[in-house]
Structure 1
Amino acid sequence: MQTIDWIVLIGTLVFIVLYGTYKTKGSKSVKDYIRGGNEAKWWTVGLSVMATQASAITFLSTPGQAFHSGMGFVQFYFGLPIAMIIICMVFIPIYHKLNVYTAYEYLESRFDLKTRSLTAILFLVQRGLAAGITIFAPAIILSAVLGWNLTKLNISIGVLVIIYTVSGGTKAVSVTQKQQMAIIFTGMFIAFFLIIHYLPEGITFSKALEIAGASGKMEVLDFSFNMDNRYTFWSGIIGGTFLALSYFGTDQSQVQRYLSGKSIRESQLGLLFNGLLKVPMQFFILLVGVMVFVFYQFNSSPLNFNPKSKEGIQNTKYTEEYSNLEAQLLAIQNEKKDLIQETLIANNQNKINSTLSKKLNNLNTAEVDIRNAARQLIVKANPIIETNDKDYVFIHFILNNLPRGLIGLLLAVILSAAMSSTASELNALASTTAVDLYKRNIKEEKTEQHYVNASKLFTLLWGILAILVACFANLFDNLIQLVNIIGSVFYGNVLGIFLLAFFFKFVRSNAVFVAALITQVIVIFGWYYNWMPYLWLNLFGCVLVISFATLIQSMSYSKQ
């Protein structure tokens, strides 16, 4: 990184922190601190909802996911617009009618305190883990590629977020998220157009799409019912709808965003805005990853994008074997480049024929085999090193190909996204702790300022805990999948509790409480023993808790 990159990066982050702190200082009431004074317009709500979900993981992992697996991951989001409509029709009117500060307040009025507390605790567990991951995700990757100290980076990100989130609460989160989303979209669009610009002369955007399509990267829809496939049309529509319903309808980090809306209409418009833009946004981010794939058809790429992998295998007995694999990879990459250029440029063809497509697929298969062989060598040389390099693909492209200044901007994009999501999570964790656990269980009456101060203290404590989780976390298969897996383990159960509250009026609190405990244990077992792709855990948990609760309640009636 050059001096200009450091200026852009540090200047952007400092501006966000100072702006958020300045614009929102002096919250005097719980309403101001937790619901932002109910002043947010629909576009603020919509951008805040989108920014909360679009963490650094989105902008680091998603392009890498597309680089390796193509556009199919977009199916994960197909259920989101459906969920937005349901939430606008059912959840938002109920929350506003009851004038709640958290989603879980409603459960006490419908059931009892123990059900409210249990659901709040389930939220606190999974969101507390996720808050640490949103800090850890960019930190582990940036520390690997830039040589920065991981622990110091975790602490730096966490402290920056804590400063303005403690100071201004919900309003600080919403205000800064508008600036962060502007930075994020600017950076991603610039990166996209630069990738197209860097392609060889004669390779237009349409031809780049053909190259990607011939390599199997443009297969968006999978209508199969194969349970071994994580991302299909059906898992996205069904499992994705239940996940989105759970996340946007019952997760306080999202509920708090639209509870700050000026009115029911502003909240509903904000969610619909998010529903309309989210799928195209994810499609675009995946397309950036596909274009990175096309770029590397004409430019050499490392055997493993994680720079620590090559460092770990140097000066071991596997060094020579690894070098041989690098030579084989280079030969395949050169062969692919010559094949594409010969067909598309020398012969001036506008379409990739079936023969070229077959040859490309064979070469791509051979490349995958070589990369897998390299991963096995890395594990033998040093089992501690993470060999899954999906999360390193995009940052490798940024650091090795973008001009000065833009590297700093794209790093600001990544860290801004991390700060945005983490701020929402800390804000929601503190609100739930203060309102659902602390305030509800305190005997004597306290002043408004007392609860504001308590919320600030809980924000600080959750921020410290998130930093600790980040410092002790470890990489998973893919960071964006890890966050969704954590959510899927808990969300189905929580959504089922809310659906029981909304639509199953005969079910009482004891039946729901017992059913929720049993369901959570079963879902954790189901995830651990890999009973099904994780997206289906949302539907599984939801159906399970509803079934158990109705069964227990029916048995209770039959005994009377």
Structure 2
Amino acid sequence: GASSGMAMAHWEIQGWMILLLGWVFVPFYSRSMVLTMPEFLERRYNKESRTILSVISLVSYVLTKVAVTVYAGGLVFQQVFGIDELWGIDFFWISAIGLVLITALYTVLGGMKSVLYTSVLQTPILLIGSLLIVVLGLRAVGGWDEVLAICGATSVNGYGDTMVNLIRNNNDPDFPWLGALVGSAIIGFWYWCTDQYIVQRVLSGRNQKESRRGAIFGAYLKLLPV
């Protein structure tokens, strides 16, 4: 978003589909008596489909979510503590590997409950941090009007669109409005309604009522303008 403008928000706006997960898919998954999406595919098709989804999910998680999180965490620890090396080893690697080991330890010992408790503790930190970034960022650039002035004067294509345009010309090379609208909806449906990372958290609810409440609250937080 910082380099491409508001058009990237199409993918974030699709967070409302968490509501579909809670109201449409949770009852379906519950009746299927499954705890994971690979397990659902096995019951619906065969073991091979379960294996394929498991491998694809693990590889994609490692290359996207896990890799970025570990890198960012190691970098933060290195900057916060101001240590370049420890025992002759780059402190970044010590921090990164340490985070992986600690996370693996409490996940294996505590299971899904420990993961959920960690998420609950992280939520206010993320919200407060996001709010601080917004406030400090706006103060640094001179306020919201200045942001609009700068972004509104930054052209992103040859069709008159600027960084503030959520809907761009359909000939835009990166975010044509039709492609962005349809593409983000398809990806949003897959991620929020069928991805293991999201679905397992909802299925961890005590019952359908609790799962739906969690989905509604999650959708509200996702769409907060912070």
Please state which band the TM-score falls in when normalised by the shorter chain. 0.7 to 0.9
Q: Which residue of 1 aligns with 2:197?
A: 253
Q: 1:75 Cα deviation (Å)?
A: 1.8
The structure having more radius of gyration, on CA atoms, is 1
Q: Secondary structure at the match of 1:280?
A: coil
Q: Secondary structure at the match of 1:101?
A: coil
Q: Which residue of 2 aligns with 1:295?
A: none
Q: 1:170 Cα deviation (Å)?
A: 0.9
Query: Are the counterparts in 1 of residues 70 and 96 from structure 2 also a CA contact under 8 Å?
Result: yes
Q: 1:214 Cα deviation (Å)?
A: 3.0
Q: 1:154 Cα deviation (Å)?
A: 1.5
Distance 1:72 1:256, change over 3 A: same
In 2: Cα distance, 1:126 partner to 1:235 partner? 23
Q: 1:86 Cα deviation (Å)?
A: 3.6
Deviations 1:384-411 (A, max 9, x none): xxxxxxxxxxxxxxxxxxxxxxxxxxxx
Q: Which residue of 1 aligns with 2:159?
A: none
In 2: Cα distance, 1:195 partner to 1:183 partner? 18
Q: Which residue of 2 aligns with 1:163?
A: 105
Distance 1:188 1:209, change over 3 A: same
Query: Are the counterparts in 2 of residues 165 and 173 from structure 1 also a CA contact under 8 Å?
Result: yes
In 2: Cα distance, 1:73 partner to 1:168 partner? 37
Query: Are the counterparts in 2 of residues 70 and 219 from structure 1 also a CA contact under 8 Å?
Result: yes
Q: Which residue of 1 aligns with 2:167?
A: 222
Q: Which residue of 2 aligns with 1:104?
A: 38
What is the TM-score when the length of structure 2 is the normalising length?
0.77
Amino acid at match of 1:70: G
Q: Secondary structure at the match of 2:99?
A: helix
Distance 1:134 1:107, change over 3 A: same
Q: Which residue of 1 aligns with 2:128?
A: 186
Q: Which residue of 2 aligns with 1:58?
A: none
What is the TM-score when the length of structure 1 is the normalising length?
0.34
Q: Which residue of 2 aligns with 1:272?
A: 216
Query: Are the counterparts in 1 of residues 148 and 164 from structure 2 also a CA contact under 8 Å?
Result: no
Percentage of matched positions with identical amino acids: 26
In 2: Cα distance, 1:92 partner to 1:119 partner? 20
Runs of 5+ in structure 1 lacking a partner?
1-64, 285-560
2:148 paired with 1:209: yes
Query: Are the counterparts in 1 of residues 14 and 188 from structure 2 also a CA contact under 8 Å?
Result: yes
Query: Are the counterparts in 2 of residues 225 and 234 from structure 1 also a CA contact under 8 Å?
Result: yes
Deviations 1:261-311 (A, max 9, x none): 122232223223333432434xx3xxxxxxxxxxxxxxxxxxxxxxxxxxx
Q: 1:186 Cα deviation (Å)?
A: 1.3
Distance 1:139 1:86, change over 3 A: closer
Query: Are the counterparts in 1 of residues 151 and 164 from structure 2 also a CA contact under 8 Å?
Result: no
Two-structure CA RMSD over aligned residues (Å)? 2.9
2:14 paired with 1:79: yes
Q: Size of the alignment, in residue pairs?
A: 212
> Which has a greater percent of helix?
1
Query: Are the counterparts in 1 of residues 192 and 199 from structure 2 also a CA contact under 8 Å?
Result: yes
Q: Which residue of 2 aligns with 1:152?
A: 94
In 2: Cα distance, 1:139 partner to 1:128 partner? 15
Query: Are the counterparts in 1 of residues 4 and 163 from structure 2 also a CA contact under 8 Å?
Result: no
In 2: Cα distance, 1:207 partner to 1:119 partner? 47
2:47 paired with 1:113: yes
Query: Are the counterparts in 1 of residues 5 and 164 from structure 2 also a CA contact under 8 Å?
Result: yes
In 1: Cα distance, 2:137 partner to 2:101 partner? 34
